[in-house]
Structure 1
Amino acid sequence: MPLTDIAAKMQRGLDRHPLAQSIKFDCMEEGAITLYEGKAHLADLPADCTIRISETNLEKLIAGKLNPMTAFAMGKIKVSGDMSLALKLSQLLG
């Protein structure tokens, strides 16, 4: 699933559950999605919380096939910045 499709799915989640803060999904060479001011931007923008994850694992996370806590414990997700924002992912993705 390309990042454009993942961003569209995240946008639907943001429409239901807006975030006051910003979260960036850094997929390294594949690109980045930054959730900022109620929109899912296909851009590497400054964010309150950065989640470094491969595009493959982000796709699994969005599809509900990868538990965020398990992924973090296994090192598939690296979080920097405001950790409490990472905990809000389940409401955004749900």
Structure 2
Amino acid sequence: MTFDQLEAKMRASLSQFTGLGAKVKFDFGADGALFLDATKVPTVSRDPVDVNTTLKISLADFVKLSEGKLSPTLAFTFGKLKVQGDMGVALKLAGMLDD
């Protein structure tokens, strides 16, 4: 999956982030970054915003995570997912991705 395809997939499933109440940066390294603003009606953008939490993960691993092929807990434990900022937001987001 390309970065553009992932962005489109996130846009199509924004409703799953309703209730998160935070702003999150998904940092895919050289592949780019997406910014989720779920403080009100969830939106996703490439435009930088101040965030509560930054998730650093490769694009390939995030695709696996979003498809249920990689557990957020295992990704974090094995260093494939790094969290900066509010860990509570990251845990809440992990629960939303597991659903």
Cα-to-partner distance string for 1:24-82 (whole Å, 9 max, x where unaligned): 11011100011014101134432100000011111111111110001000000000000
User: Which residue does 1:68 correspond to in 2?
Assistant: 72
Q: Which amino acid aligns with 1:49?
A: T
**Structure 1 residue 86, shift from structure 2 partner:** 0.8
TM-score when normalising by structure 1: 0.85
Q: 1:31 & 1:43 partners in 2: Cα distance?
A: 11
**Amino-acid identity (%):** 37
Structure 1, unaligned stretches of length 5 or more? none
Tell me how many residue pairs correspond in the alignment: 94
TM-score when normalising by structure 2: 0.82
Structure 2, unaligned stretches of length 5 or more? none
Pair 1:91 & 2:96 matched? yes
User: Which residue does 2:6 correspond to in 1?
Assistant: 6
Root-mean-square deviation (CA, aligned residues, Å) is 1.8
Stretches of 4+ aligned residues off by more than 3 angstroms: none
